[in-house]
């Protein structure tokens, strides 16, 4: 369980950029101030000299405490002098301090022997930005999933209201995401269009990424296009394909059944699903089609593999998107 290597690299680059930007701004400010008041640079040289001296003193063994106290005082005096000069010129007293995004680690990403929380946040954020439809991912969380679009009138055929069923599904998926592991089951979300399957899939994706897993999400069309391109365009092999589709901790295939089925896509999809299932890796499918329609479109072999392995979640209600449009 870990994000893709490229995610860590991208996050590290973003961190380096933050630090470089803070240091660039610091240099600009220093040049601006030096032009007006060279004495301020003297105070900075004094601060740097004290710092260097402190390191030397700490390594020697005589009267270390007194020497450290004296140097600390000199450093403090230089800081006060610098602040005063800056204020006299109408600047903020900390104008020459580098403005780091994270003052705790100064945008280095480490704090003591630990990774700083800013760096861990950046890694998670980068993993989410790499998800297809990242803007939609941001909006679709469990917190933004509303049950008010589902009727609370009991459905006689089901013995309970659609709202109650959807509440259970949402609760189940929250618990699924919160306890997700490589041993988690695969899921099949079924139901007509506009009932919240994509929203809740993305809510799961959000949480599972937050918990440090490598997740790949796309429509069935997008995934099959990628498989097809890799297969037929031999000169441009897709190096990340295995890692994303076959080896990701969680693969989410949205809107299964809406894509064009060809003999290639039918067998490519079977190969992908079968391999992940053999390896015990969880996959979430969502579809607007019924099991019979899927079977007619693909093959009985694929459908029996999916139905035999997945927990089935049947969505009910009226098209939420239409209801929202009418509000
Ligand atoms: Zn930090």
Give the domains, in start order, of the chain with CATH numbers. 20-100 (no CATH), 131-326 (3.40.50.300)
Are 218 and 254 in contact, with CB atoms under 8 Å apart?
A: yes
What separation in Å is there between the alpha carbon of 98 and the centre of ligand 1? 14
How far is residue 274's CA from residue 280's CA, in Å, rounded to a whole number? 10
Residue 277: pLDDT over 70: yes
Neighbours of 286 (CB within 10 A): 25
Mean pLDDT of 169-190: 97
Mean pLDDT of 175-202: 96
What separation in Å is there between the alpha carbon of 82 and the centre of ligand 1? 26
What separation in Å is there between the alpha carbon of 27 and the centre of ligand 1? 21
Res 327: pLDDT: 64
Neighbours of 123 (CB within 10 A): 22
What separation in Å is there between the alpha carbon of 221 and the centre of ligand 1? 39
What separation in Å is there between the alpha carbon of 201 and the centre of ligand 1? 31
Would you place residue 213 in the very low, low, confident or very high pLDDT band (cuts 50, 70, 90)?
very high
What separation in Å is there between the alpha carbon of 74 and the centre of ligand 1? 29
Q: How confident is the model over 109-135, as pLDDT tens digits?
A: 999 999 999 999 999 999 999 999 888
Q: How confident is the model over 313-322, as pLDDT tens digits?
A: 999 998 887 7
Q: How confident is the model over 139-155, as pLDDT tens digits?
A: 999 999 999 999 999 99
Res 179: pLDDT: 98
What separation in Å is there between the alpha carbon of 119 and the centre of ligand 1? 6
What separation in Å is there between the alpha carbon of 250 and the centre of ligand 1? 29
Listed range (18-22, 202-206, 233-237) with the worst mean pLDDT: 233-237
What separation in Å is there between the alpha carbon of 116 and the centre of ligand 1? 5
Res 20: pLDDT: 97
Q: How confident is the model over 45-92, as pLDDT tens digits?
A: 899 898 888 888 777 767 788 888 888 899 999 999 999 999 999 999
Q: How confident is the model over 214-253, as pLDDT tens digits?
A: 999 999 999 999 999 988 887 888 888 888 999 999 999 9
Are 5 and 75 in contact, with CB atoms under 8 Å apart?
A: no
Res 83: pLDDT: 92
Q: How many CA atoms lie within 13 A of 106 on its CB side?
A: 5
What separation in Å is there between the alpha carbon of 125 and the centre of ligand 1? 14
- Sorted by sequence, the CB contacts under 8 Å of residue 15 that are 6+ apart come out as 107, 108, 109, 118, 119, 122
What separation in Å is there between the alpha carbon of 104 and the centre of ligand 1? 5
Q: What pTM value is reported for the model?
A: 0.85
Helix (H) or strand (E) holding 162: helix 162-178
How far is residue 50's CA from residue 45's CA, in Å, rounded to a whole number? 9
Would you place residue 28 in the very low, low, confident or very high pLDDT band (cuts 50, 70, 90)?
very high
Residue 211: pLDDT over 70: yes
Residue 275: pLDDT over 90: yes
What separation in Å is there between the alpha carbon of 17 and the centre of ligand 1? 13
Count Cβ atoms within 10 A of the Cβ of residue 9 and give its class: 0-12 exposed, 13-18 middle, 19 or more buried. exposed
What separation in Å is there between the alpha carbon of 22 and the centre of ligand 1? 13
Q: Which two tokens stand for residue 259?
A: 């894509």
How far is residue 150's CA from residue 216's CA, in Å, rounded to a whole number? 29
What separation in Å is there between the alpha carbon of 110 and the centre of ligand 1? 7
Q: How many CA atoms lie within 13 A of 93 on its CB side?
A: 6
């Amino acid at each position: 369980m870990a994000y893709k290597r490229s995610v860590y690299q991208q996050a590290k680059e973003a961190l380096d950029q933050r630090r470089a930007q803070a240091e660039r701004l610091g240099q600009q400010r220093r040049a601006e101030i030096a032009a007006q008041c060279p004495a301020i640079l003297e105070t900075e040289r004094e601060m740097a000299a004290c710092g260097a001296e402190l390191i030397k003193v700490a390594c020697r063994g005589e009267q270390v405490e007194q020497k450290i106290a004296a140097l600390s005082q000199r450093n403090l005096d230089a800081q006060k002098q610098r602040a005063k000069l800056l204020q006299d010129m109408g600047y903020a007293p900390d104008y020459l301090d580098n403005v780091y995004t994270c003052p705790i680690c100064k945008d280095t990403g480490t704090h003591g022997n630990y990774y700083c929380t800013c760096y861990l946040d950046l890694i998670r954020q980068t993993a989410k930005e790499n998800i297809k439809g990242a803007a939609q991912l941001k909006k679709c969380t469990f917190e933004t999933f509303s049950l008010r679009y589902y009727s609370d009138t009991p459905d006689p055929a089901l013995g309970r209201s659609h709202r109650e069923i959807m509440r259970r599904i949402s609760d189940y998926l929250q618990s699924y995401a919160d306890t997700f592991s490589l041993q988690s089951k695969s899921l099949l979300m079924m139901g007509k269009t506009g009932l919240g399957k994509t929203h809740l899939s993305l809510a799961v994706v959000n949480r599972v990424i937050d918990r440090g897993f490598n997740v790949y999400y796309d429509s069935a069309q997008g995934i099959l296009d990628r498989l097809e391109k890799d297969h037929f365009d031999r000169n441009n092999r897709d190096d990340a394909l295995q890692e994303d589709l076959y080896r990701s901790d969680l693969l989410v295939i949205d809107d299964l059944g809406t894509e064009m089925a060809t003999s290639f896509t039918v067998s490519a999809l079977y190969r992908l699903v079968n391999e992940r299932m053999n390896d015990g890796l969880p996959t979430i499918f969502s579809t607007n089609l019924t099991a019979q329609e899927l079977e007619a479109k693909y093959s009985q072999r694929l459908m029996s593999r999916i139905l035999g392995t997945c927990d089935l979640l049947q969505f009910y209600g009226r098209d939420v998107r239409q209801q929202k449009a009418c509000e």
